[in-house]
A and B are shown apart, each in its own frame.
Chain A
Amino acid sequence: MSGVRVLVGTRKGAFIIEADAKREKWNVSGPHFAGWEIYHMKGSPADPNRIYASQSSGWFGQIIQHSDDGGKTWHQPGTPPGEPTTTPEGMPKGESNKFVYDTSPETGKPLTTHQWYDGTPHPWEFKRVWHLEPSLTDPDTVYAGVEDAALFRTTDGGRTWQELPGLRGHGSGSSWAPGAGGMCLHTILLDPSNSNRIVIAISAAGAFRSDDAGKTWRPINRGLHSLYIPNPTAEVGHCVHRIAMHRSRPGVLFMQKHWDVMRSDDAGESWREISGNLPTDFGFPIDVHAHEPETIYVVPIKSDSEHFPPDGKLRVYRSRTGGNEWEALTKGLPQSDCYVNVLRDAMAVDSLDSCGVYFGTTGGQVYASANAGDNWSPIVRDLPAVLSVEVQTLP
């Protein structure tokens, strides 16, 4: 293994941070797309030089960027200058930043509204792409989780996107409601052992699974208990913050919910709480060690209104027993006067022999541990607020 490439999305641009396998000396490049919000960047498992980025702005909307050289150069994979922007029949062509909800009667029920914060119906409106999940096998196929919640897919390298309408149309979509950050589809897990299985999560609707490659979907929220909704054990309405799995055991899922850390041993059919001795079970990210499927990481946050660590101490918690028994990892992390948050897509692991763990903060620091969390150090400390962190382990 020759090194790692850390892809960092921030409120004001993207940064790429690289090191060799020792992970001691880091080279920071960026900002790419300066001034734009980069909700997520992720490389293709099938071609590490192919990276996709979600670039967005309240002024100018959504842009998709694509690199074929590991992030050195980027381009928008849409219609090249000079080519027609309509089909020969005169219809507007798809574009790399065109995410249009499917309302055709052939593909299900044209769903027009979800619930607003006050319970009234609200029209579905595309705002941005929160998460990009490249196919495990095809660099040109990518799934996009968007706000307002829906799942899109490209099979042409990001030039055009089509909704997988069975998710919004499966029956509960009209009752989904936004969480505090918006109604976002933020987690997409592709099962390495079963190409037909996809698990996604929406805040605040819950987790959903497809076993036919995204055509049909059903909620998988049995066992979740959320006191902040009228029926705490409802089929949908849970504010799931993040789900993680280990690729060797895709049937085991770990969830950080708004409150509660949860585990499923049956691909989401049922969930049980594993918060155990955590100082607080509120938080956003959760991840799994690259080589130890029972070793998991969370970053406890004091509460849903105080989005900072308890006692001003930034602590990652690690469980080596698949949950319930947690240890605080503090070496190298600030243990006083620290009031940053770690967002749901801002933690990742590498797959070097000694597993590296990485996370970014709303204070602009990206911390790394080259020994599975025992010791931490900042690899960069003064970026804009970090929205996402992904890591590529390079051959």
Chain B
Amino acid sequence: MIRVVLPAHLRKLAQVDGEVKLHVEGPVTQRSVLDALEARYPMLRGTIRDHVTQKRRAFVRFFACGQDLSHELTDAPLPDAVATGTEPFMILGAIAGG
């Protein structure tokens, strides 16, 4: 199972507490994790990536295993520790504004 940590506002929209656990078919990538997340929680569509372009929203960042993955290719494999569920894939709102 893939573990995903959502920012507080998105946890509230999705009506979940704590981490989300997802089953992902095939290679574990940003795209496949977000596809699985949005399929299970359709209310999150458009909040992490654009509906049409599928690009990450500007103030959203992706981290895992202490690395910033925000600018990695969306189809690049995520670290093994994420794929095996040892470490979570973290979605964060960038610190900006008030």
Interface residues of A (CB under 8 A from B): 35-36, 57-63, 76, 78-83, 85, 92, 95, 97-98, 100
Contacts and interface: CB of A to CB of B under 8 A. Distances in A.
Contact of B42 (A35, A36, A58, A79): A79
Give the size range of B's interface with the partner: 20 to 34
Given A81-B40, A95-B51, A100-B51, A62 B46 contact: yes
A35 B13 CA distance: 12
Contacts of A78: 42-43, 45
Contact of A92 (B43, B51, B59, B97): B51
B61 to A, nearest CB: 10
Among B45, B57, B60, chain A packs the most CB atoms within 10 A around the CB of B45
A111 B97 CA distance: 32
A80 B42 contact: yes
Given A81-B40, A98-B46, A58 B51 contact: no
B69 interface: no
A59 B51 contact: no
14 contacts: A60-B60, A61-B46, A61-B47, A63-B47, A78-B42, A79-B42, A79-B45, A80-B42, A81-B41, A81-B43, A82-B40, A83-B42, A85-B42, A98-B45
A346 B32 CA distance: 43
Nearest to B35: A85
B51 A98 contact: yes
A98 B52 CA distance: 9
A76 B43 contact: yes
A60 B14 CA distance: 13
Contacts of B59: 58-59
Contacts of B76: none
A61 to B, nearest CB: 6
Contact of A59 (B40, B45, B94): B94
A98 B60 CA distance: 18
A81 B39 CA distance: 7
B62 to A, nearest CB: 13
Given A59-B57, A85-B42, A36 B9 contact: yes
Contacts of B10: 60
B79 interface: no
B78 interface: no
A59 B60 contact: yes
